[in-house]
Amino acid sequence: MTPQVQGIGMTSQRTRGRMVSRLSDQGISNLAVLEVMRKTPRHLFVDEALASRAYDDAALPIGYNQTISQPYIVAKMTELLLEKGPLNKVLEIGTGCGYQTAVLAQLVGKVYTVERLLSLQRNARSHLYDLLIKNISYMHGDGTLGWADYAPYDGILVSAAPPEIPDMLLEQMAIGGVMVIPVGVAGGKQTLQRITRSVGDYKVETLAPVSFVPFLSGKE
Ligand code: SAH
């Protein structure tokens, strides 16, 4: 590993260990999720000027008015997605800086990730490439439409908040599939929801108040 990947001082393995202890104190109990977050160099996904804050429990700017989700949210969403068993195909909407993608890809068979902002996805792709994480397919597009070519998905994780769950995402869930998604208006009340699809039915669990950037249509 290069020194940059390994990190020093505030970006070191020890700092990541502290982050993981904090996550566990906050109630994250999936050991595989904690282990992956212990070894994934989150500082590489943020601007160098912010690297020393990469392991704080905070959302940080990643440019283009977007933020990298705080570690607790990444851990919680991943844990909720995986709770009912291992997943093979997972669709992620909102690649952002790619950190959530990196965590997911180390825990599931394959990640299909869609991002509407091309520049962000380009950066994410190069970071994930540097980390040799290869079980990811990328699409620059509007996540409102999901990614029909590879549907159905066992898991869908959305990291921007739409006012309502887009129909195409519900349609692209496999029977038995799980979706974790923040729902609500930007700046207003948003809740994290988990949807489980069964034959002819969708079960909705409303989990916790959250604050995500808005889910926007179109691509740039
Ligand atoms: N998991 C990412 C979160 C980034 S913020 C991270 O930790 O970095 C949410 C991302 O969703 C932003 O990059 C935003 O551009 C993207 N996004 C918002 N609406 C979208 C849509 N309709 N389709 C695809 N991506 C979308």
Instruction: Give the pLDDT confidence of 8-47 residue by residue, as tens digits.
Output: 566 788 999 999 999 999 999 999 999 999 999 999 999 8
* Residue 52 appears among annotated catalytic residues: no
Architecture of the domain defined by 3-209: 3-Layer(aba) Sandwich (3.40)
Residues 127, 44: contact at Cβ < 8 Å? yes
Active-site hit among 12, 21, 52, 69: 69
Mutate to test the pocket of ligand 1, among 115, 118, 122, 172 (most ligand atoms within 8 A of CB): 115
- Give the pTM: 0.95
Whole-number pLDDT of residue 12: 81
- Rounded distance between C-alpha atoms, residue 197 and residue 41, angstroms: 34
Residue 211 contacts by C-beta under 8 Å, 6 or more apart in sequence?
A: 190
Q: Which of 139, 132, 130, 88 is nearest to 112 (CA)?
A: 139
Among 113, 103, 117, residue whose Cα is nearest residue 45:
103
Q: Report residues whose beta carbon is within 6 angstroms of any ligand 1 atom.
A: 62, 66-69, 93-94, 96-97, 99-100, 114-117, 120, 142-144, 159-160, 213, 215-217
CA distance 90 to 56: 27
pLDDT of residue 5: 65
Q: What is the pLDDT of residue 3?
A: 52
In the reported structure, the alpha carbon of residue 59 is separated from the centroid of ligand 1 by a whole-number distance in angstroms of 13
Q: What is the pLDDT of residue 4?
A: 62
**Ligand 1 centroid to residue 180 C-alpha, Å:** 14
Ligand 1 pocket: which of 37, 72, 117, 147 to mutate (most atoms within 8 A of CB): 117
Say what the pLDDT of residue 13 is: 87
The DSSP secondary structure of 83-97, one letter per residue, reads: TTS--SEEEEE--TT
Judged on CB neighbours under 10 Å (0-12, 13-18, 19+), 132 is exposed
Per-residue pLDDT, 92: 98
CA distance 120 to 63: 8
CA-nearest residue, atom 3 of ligand 1: 96
pLDDT-flagged residues of the chain (< 50)? none
Rg, the chain, Cα only: 16
Q: Ligand 1: which residue has its CA nearest to atom 6?
A: 68
pLDDT at 143: 97
Residue 186: the pLDDT is: 79
What pLDDT, on the 0 to 100 scale, is given for residue 180? 98
